[in-house]
Amino acid sequence: MGLLQDLYDDEDAGLDQTARLRSVQAAFRPVPVDTTGWTSASASRAAAGVSGDLAEIVVAPDGRSATLTLGDVMGKGTPAGLLAANLLGALDALARENPAVAVEGAENAVRARFERASAFATLFHARVRLADGAVEFVDAGHGFAAIGHADGRTERIASVDLPIGLQPRGFARLPRHVDLGPGDVLVCASDGILELPDATFDTLTDLAARLVAVPTLTDGLAAFMASAPERVDDDLTLVALRREHGTAGRTTPDGPEGSTRR
């Protein structure tokens, strides 16, 4: 073990703690979606070195769906970051499950630790069917997701459930559904977006509208972050997923694409 320990010890590898922290944080950032007809992007800025936000966008191994997740642990800095990593790991272990089952299972896995830490987290967790844009999601006390439609309409997705760690045992959260048509964008933010100068919930829906029109989501989120202060009072994380034009659409049994249903 001595040789391995020397090889992987941060100081012996020439890494200071700040550099090592940055590399670990980078490993927790979403990897852009690379699949036909869909694009994604993310951006983040921590208030205190380590972010208490968790985010992920990942395509399933069978290529049929993508999962978009954004959560926000109360507080900031290293304590919040540790709990965020714990929650993200629990969700990763349940990646094959539908959002309602995954969120319930993850909450059961982290509940005791969150209770001992007197903490809670808000969470938006969605599965997108890539063939037709059908989205199933759970919003656990989050309320910072929005859709920008290709026809210029926007809608914010309000939360109807309690955060992770506060939902009573045995009470399942409500699975909900939306549809993304060609050109539509789903964007989710942490609540740090409201800490930006002059920000309101319209800031989120305005961003959704802008992301419909930008050449790339990466450019759109970069422009938004460039307009934000270098130092933020609360962790700020953004994730976005866009269904590109030219992908086939359909009409669902619940109504036409682009309609919100419960």
Token pair listed for 35: 């699949």
For residue 29, pLDDT beyond 80: no
Domains in the chain, CATH or no CATH each: 33-245 (3.60.40.10)
Supply the pLDDT for residue 244. Answer: 94
Largest CA distance in the chain: 63
Per residue in 145-198, pLDDT tens? Answer: 999 999 999 999 999 899 999 988 888 888 999 999 999 999 999 999 999 999
Find out whether 114 and 83 touch, Cβ atoms under 8 Å.
yes
Element (H, E) at 5: helix 2-8
For residue 262, pLDDT beyond 50: no
Find out whether 114 and 141 touch, Cβ atoms under 8 Å.
no
The better pLDDT of the pair 27, 217 is held by 217
Per residue in 53-107, pLDDT tens? Answer: 999 999 999 999 999 999 999 988 889 999 999 999 999 999 999 999 999 999 9
Helices (H) and strands (E) in the chain, counts: 6, 14
CA distances from 122 to 58, 126, 166, 189 (A): 20, 14, 10, 11
* 3-state SS, residue 224: helix
Q: What is the DSSP string of 76-102?
A: -SHHHHHHHHHHHHHHHHTTTS-HHHH
Q: How many CB atoms lie within 10 A of CB 251?
A: 11
Give Cβ neighbours of residue 217 (< 8 Å, ≥ 6 apart): 39, 40, 41, 185, 211, 240, 241, 242
Supply the pLDDT for residue 247. Answer: 55
**Residues 16-31, mean pLDDT to the nearest whole number:** 69
For residue 33, pLDDT beyond 90: no
Find out whether 140 and 164 touch, Cβ atoms under 8 Å.
yes
Supply the pLDDT for residue 12. Answer: 53
Supply the pLDDT for residue 30. Answer: 77
Supply the pLDDT for residue 86. Answer: 94
Per residue in 201-255, pLDDT tens? Answer: 999 999 999 999 999 999 999 999 999 999 999 999 999 999 998 755 433 333 3
- Please tell me the total number of residues recorded for the chain in this structure: 262
CA atoms 193, 258, 159, 68: torsion sign: negative
User: Which amino acid, residue 173?
Assistant: R
* Rg, C-alpha atoms of the chain: 19
Q: How many CA atoms lie within 13 A of 129 on its CB side?
A: 15
Q: Alpha-carbon distance 1 to 6, whole Å? A: 9
